Chains A and B, each alone.
Chain A
Amino acid sequence: MSNDAVANAGDTASHQGAKRHGPPVKRLMAPAVLFLMVWMIVPLAMTVYYAFENYNLMMPTMRGFAGLGNFEILLTDGTFWAALGHTLTLVMACLAITVSLGLVLALLFNKTFLGRGVARTLAISPFFVMPVVTGLLFKNMLLHPVYGIVSWAMRTLGFEPIDWFAHYPMFSVILMISWEWTPFALLILLTGLQSLPEDQIEAVRLDGASRLQEFRHIVIPHLGQVLYVVVMLESIFFLTSFAEIYATTSGGPGTATTNLPYYIYQNAFFQYDIGLSSAAAIAAVILANIFAFFLIRFVAGNLNAGGQR
């Protein structure tokens, strides 16, 4: 008996019979793995390397090992801390809005009513809008202090129009991003709701549960996993928001809407400070990993559960 067959006997699937004559598994995987290595892992390693280097494209002679110098500058830079704060504000606010609104809308669209399919399709459309378009659309046609339709509506109702992006820049950015991402939460939570087995609802109704109890004890636990996925995925995307800010406030006024990605972008492309922006990038990676850690654990857990199906 070949050792190979014995060694592979513990595998989940049972294609061992063919395994001895199977395809070159490694060669099938190699292209995808190598690609991700070259385009993701290697650059990430280089970022780490640059973060410890004195490296400014404007001062090519000044290169050399910087030790923790870049991190010292970073941690004493008020703008960095502001950017970090803005990033967290943005993530938290957008999460709160999209998840709660998405849940309410999901419950609404889980009911049957006339033209539900079309209404749902219209409601999720913002998710497919290119972020740059969203930015210009909100900045001009919707929220322009004079000619925007919101200003017109406020004047009509007797209020003074507001220059949203000048006076409430963070609010405006949050509004845009929430408009784009509420549909995502809606879509995923709705799919989650629809996978709730009918008999569970019927059973709990026969047990005499009120609608509120039904929601608390059946719907929310069932949605638990799905909510988790929505929160984690949205966090990752919100942490890296860029185009919406690029197209509207350019991080301003001042640094009012400068988040971490925008901070790094500015330091790299306008200050040419590779070392400093790499150090900031490391901070961004760490932040993303705090969220990703939990999500990936969930995905991995899901993988094992799926394997037993």
Chain B
Amino acid sequence: MAVVELKGVAKNYGGAHKNAKAANAVENFNLTTRDGEFIVLVGPSGCGKSTTMRMIAGLEANTDGEIRIDGRDVSQVAARDRDIAMVFQSYALYPHMTVYDNMAFALSLKKVPKPEIEQRVNDAASILDITHLLDRKPRALSGGQRQRVALGRAIVRDPQVFLMDEPLSNLDAMLRVDMRAEIIKLHRKLGVTTFYVTHDQTEAMTMGERIVVMRDGHIQQIDTPNALYHAPNNVFVAGFIGTPSMNFLKMTLGGDGKTLTGQTARMVASSERQSIEAHKGRDLMVGVRPEHLVLTTDEAAANLIKGEIDVVEPLGSVTMVQLEVDGHRITAQLEGDTSVRMGDAIMLTCDSARLHLFDAETEQALPRHEHRTETA
């Protein structure tokens, strides 16, 4: 168990790299974990989350900054000496070894006495409920079983840090939900500092104590799931976190610092925002989540979006509708029993407190005064 500190960590593949944009895979990554914290790195593919994890692992050298595990700078330490365990997306089990030998491998390299190895492997196996598989070879196991063995191989080591690189992405949807819960339970039980990489924001929201949202090698926001949902730092985070994605409308802020006018839509931003003065009379991106939009018949409502439904998706518990408003695609999540049809002209409204405002150029949020965000 340990505190992991990343200070100004960067990965630069150098000018020779074919893709100039990818040359800086990760830039200026700063994060300090609590002891035993569960950190999720999330972002679209190519955002640098895996590279960051591989730098922590020591599989890739950081070209700048320092990585400290329990206070020790490990930037120059080989992967084998960092005392970390990793669960790979492909599981990376040794195909020629039995499950037992897979789990015992690291301990036998460390010359741990045989009886102790046996004890530890058996303990780990029973925690993961794979005792009956110990004599099998990986190819004789199902995907879910391999996943458990991969976890077993990590926990048997009792390392300072766990790294998990998209460990669930090769499982089918049902199993993934089960394993998600299981990994969280395991983490609570063992209390080992864990980094977990995923591209799936649902996985990130359900598992992470804190989530690092990345894009193009840069940290966008580090926060708890709740904070990310309610106070995203910028348009990217706002759109990435939450399903379905947040709706955006380009609107002009009135001189009162509250009224927002689009081509047909209108809104009133109730709460005070930082730096609102500078934006008076200028364009803003206004975000509102689909689950916060409701049908209305009141044409005089302060917040009003009008449009014609072009897609209806009845999901039972809710009904999703899509419409085109002022050149933006708007999704609304309505009550399950709402009876709407394609072609219907509808009006939507929402609570002013649910509005998110972003600078149209920098795409940065105009945070509310009362909310103090924890930024990178």
Contacts and interface: CB of A to CB of B under 8 A. Distances in A.
Direct contact of A and B (CB under 8 A): yes
Interface of A: 1-2, 5-6, 8-10, 14-21
B17 A16 contact: no
Contacts of A15: 59
Interface string B270-295: 00000000000000000000000000
A2 B61 CA distance: 10
Given A2-B76, A17-B54, A19-B61, 18 more contacts: A1-B61, A1-B75, A5-B61, A6-B14, A6-B63, A8-B61, A9-B13, A9-B61, A9-B63, A10-B14, A10-B16, A14-B54, A15-B59, A16-B61, A17-B59, A17-B61, A18-B59, A18-B78
Interface size class of B (residues with CB under 8 A): 20 to 34
A20 B11 CA distance: 16
B60 A16 contact: yes
Contacts of A6: 12, 14, 63
A14 to B, nearest CB: 5
Contact of A17 (B13, B14, B16, B78): B78
A14 B76 CA distance: 15
B12 A17 contact: no
A1 B59 contact: no
Interface in B56-70: 57-64
B63 A17 contact: no
Nearest to A18: B78
Contacts of B64: 1
A10 B13 contact: yes
Nearest to A19: B61
Contacts of B11: 9
B189 to A, nearest CB: 30
B61 A20 contact: yes
Contacts of B79: 17-18
Interface string B77-93: 01110000000000000
Interface in B4-21: 11-14, 16-17
A37 to B, nearest CB: 29
A8 B60 CA distance: 10
A6 B64 CA distance: 9
Contacts of B16: 10
Nearest to A14: B60
Contact of B60 (A1, A10, A17, A21): A17
Contacts of B14: 6, 9-10
* A-B CB proximity, top 10 nearest: A5-B61, A17-B58, A21-B78, A10-B16, A16-B61, A17-B59, A10-B14, A17-B79, A9-B14, A14-B60
Contacts of A19: 61
27 contacts: A1-B61, A1-B62, A1-B63, A1-B75, A2-B76, A5-B63, A6-B14, A6-B63, A9-B12, A9-B63, A10-B13, A10-B14, A14-B54, A15-B59, A16-B61, A17-B54, A17-B58, A17-B59, A17-B60, A17-B61, A17-B79, A18-B58, A18-B80, A19-B61, A20-B76, A20-B78, A21-B78
A190 B75 CA distance: 51
Contact of A10 (B17, B58, B59, B80): B17
Contacts of A9: 11-14, 61, 63
Contacts of A8: 61
Interface string B41-61: 000000000000010011111
Nearest to A8: B61
B376 to A, nearest CB: 22
A21 B77 CA distance: 9
Nearest to A4: B61
Contacts of B75: 1
Nearest to A7: B14
Contacts of B63: 1, 5-6, 9
Nearest to A17: B58
